[in-house]
C-alpha cells in the first residue's frame, strides 16, 4: 500500500472566502501515483472547512447569507468566545460546513459525482492556513 501526504497553504484577502481546490487536490493525486484507494482532505484549522458542493456563484452567495443568518459575524459582543478573539462566528460556520471530505480514487482519478467540486471554506482569513491531503491505496 502506498501513502501520500501533502499540506496546501492558503491566505485569503477577505475574512470569508470559498475557494475551489479541486485542481490542487487532483495534482496531489497525480503526484501520489495512486490508482485505487481513498483520499482524505481536511482543514487543519478550527475556523475553516473543506466541503464538497457545486461551483456556482449564486449558491456561494446563498451560503454566505445562510451562514451569516445562523452565526452573524457582528456584533462581536454576542458571543462568549469573543474576548481576546473576534472569531466565534467562524468557529460556528466551520462546524456546520464540516471539517473534511473523503473521496474515492478510481483509475487514478477523483471519483466525484457530476457536479461535485472540493472547496476550501475560509471563515477567518487574511492569514496563512493549511489543508491536509492524505491519500492511501495502490
> Which residues form the interface with Zn ion (CB under 5 A)?
85, 87
- Minimum distance, C-beta of residue 90 to Zn ion, in the bound complex (Å): 7
Q: Which residue has the CB atom at the shortest distance from Zn ion?
A: 85
- The vertex-37 CA angle with 31 and 25, nearest 5°, equals 40
How far apart are CB 50 and Zn ion at their closest, in Å?
A: 19
d(CA 24, CA 59): 22
**No. of H helices and E strands in the chain?**
3, 8
CB closer to Zn ion, 6 vs 15: 15
Q: Which is nearer to Zn ion, 23 or 83 (CB)?
A: 83
Amino acid at each position: 500500500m502506498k501513502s501520500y501526504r501533502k499540506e496546501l497553504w492558503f491566505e485569503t484577502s477577505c475574512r470569508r472566502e470559498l475557494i475551489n481546490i479541486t485542481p490542487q487536490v487532483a495534482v496531489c493525486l497525480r503526484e501520489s501515483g495512486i490508482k485505487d484507494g481513498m483520499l482524505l482532505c481536511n482543514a487543519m484549522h478550527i475556523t475553516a472547512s473543506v466541503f464538497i458542493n457545486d461551483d456556482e456563484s449564486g449558491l456561494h452567495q446563498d451560503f454566505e447569507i445562510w451562514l451569516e443568518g445562523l452565526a452573524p459575524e457582528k456584533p462581536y459582543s454576542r458571543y462568549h468566545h469573543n474576548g481576546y478573539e473576534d472569531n466565534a462566528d467562524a468557529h460556528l460556520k466551520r462546524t456546520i460546513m464540516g471539517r473534511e471530505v473523503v473521496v474515492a480514487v478510481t483509475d487514478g482519478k477523483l471519483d466525484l459525482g457530476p457536479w461535485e467540486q472540493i472547496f476550501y471554506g475560509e471563515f477567518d482569513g487574511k492569514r496563512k492556513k493549511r489543508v491536509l491531503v492524505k491519500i492511501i491505496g495502490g
